[in-house]
Amino acid sequence: MLLDQLSAISYQLSVISYQLSAISYQLSAISLCATRTLREQPSAYALRARYANSYQLSADH
């Protein structure tokens, strides 16, 4: 009886461990996508510099 209960608990813990591993994998994938998205976005400084350069070029002509 006790051995059966311990076996059931062990099985449940292994299922929980598997689910946590899957969640961890999903969070890693989300983090990777977010990091890639942020890298692809120009920074506010770069946008200001680009705007200033285009404004200066149009003012020169």
- pLDDT truncated to tens, each residue of the chain (61 aa)? 999 999 999 999 999 999 999 999 999 999 998 888 777 777 777 778 777 777 666 666 5
Look at the block and give the residue holding tokens 């120009």: 42
Predicted TM-score of the model (pTM): 0.56
Residues ≥6 apart with Cβ < 8 Å to 42: 50
pLDDT at 53: 75
End-to-end CA distance of the chain: 90
pLDDT at 23: 97
* Residue 19 exposure: Cα atoms within 13 Å on the Cβ side: 6
